[in-house]
Amino acid sequence: MYDMLKIIRPVNFVFTIIIVGLTTYLLNKNMSVMISIYAAFSLAFAVAAGNIINDIKDIETDKINKPLRGFVSGRIGRKTAVTLYSIFIILSSGTAILISAVSFYMIFAVNILLYLYSDKLQFIPELKNITVALLGSTVFVFPGVISGNIGVIIFPSLFAFLITLIRELIKDVEDIPGDTQVNRLTLPIKYGIHKVKYLTIYFALVIIAACLLSFYLHLLNIYFFIFSMLVLCPLLIYFIKEVIRTQLKYELRRLSNFAKLIMLLGLIGVLIGL
């Protein structure tokens, strides 16, 4: 049971429910609370399905980079994993249709993109990380479409896109040994670690600039501006300093976790600013 829970990434599952549910509710408080709940679970189910199919398709690389995962170690069989994947696809689609036809088509598109990523796109360096970042931004795009409040979610979606992109680039550097052994081409392998590090620094600077602009352009309120100046921007500056300094693999794991912390705090800040 523990391994079956782990394969859907329970922390990410709960995190998606909270962010999507709260964002949908805050964007349009006149909507039924049930719509927010349906939205939260439909996207969370889709993300869970994506994690499962990624583990199925990524088994050879994970044997080297993440050998303790339940599916890789053999504690979860392929048939069980495929069954779980099918169940979550049905749950995501069935919950989305309870909201609207547009929601159903959006979740359908997310499910297709998640499958294409695991099957094809993750092997194309220039598309791999952008695809994951686009999927990461759906935690705001999906609620924005449901609530009819597209304009408000421009900055939150950009933040989610960029911080996800940063974390994926760092993870690619971290996974070089396993990717090299299975002849998988990623950006750090194709273009070099230093260029990828400069790219992450550039994206971090763009987020800092966007935090400033979001207030001046009245995209988010004063509370987000204060939060970003006291919390987000200092953390991003520290992150940039560490990216420049870091060389060792174990430090890359720490940086990846630190980027995840910035992502979490940033999403909380966005909810404060809505």
Q: Measure CA 15 to chain center.
A: 10
Please check whether residues 110 and 187 belong to one and the same domain: no
Full residue range of the structural domain in which residue 272 is found: 150-274
Query: Per the domain annotation, does 42 fall within a domain?
Result: yes
Contacts of 7 (CB under 8 A, 6+ apart): 51, 52, 55, 69, 70, 71, 76, 81, 84
- Look up residue 117 and give its two tokens: 């990523």
Identify whether the C-beta of residue 237 lies closer than 8 Å to the C-beta of residue 208: yes
Q: Are residues 167 and 267 in the same domain?
A: yes
Last residue of a domain, one of 106, 124, 142: 124
Residue 144 in any domain: the answer is: no
269 and 162 together in one domain: yes
Q: Which residue has the higher pLDDT, 214 or 110?
A: 110
* Res 259: pLDDT: 87
Q: What does the block give as tokens for 53?
A: 């199919």
pLDDT, residue 97, reads 95
Residues 110 and 41 in one domain: yes
Instruction: List pLDDT tens digits, range 158-200.
Output: 999 999 999 999 888 888 877 787 778 888 888 888 888 899 9
Predicted structure pTM score: 0.86
Residues 1 and 82 in one domain: yes
Q: Which pLDDT does position 2 carry in this prediction?
A: 59
9 backbone φψ class: left, alpha, beta (φ>0; ψ -120 to 50): left
Q: How many CA atoms lie within 13 A of 268 on its CB side?
A: 11
Q: How many domains does the chain have?
A: 2
Is residue 135 included in any domain, yes or no? no
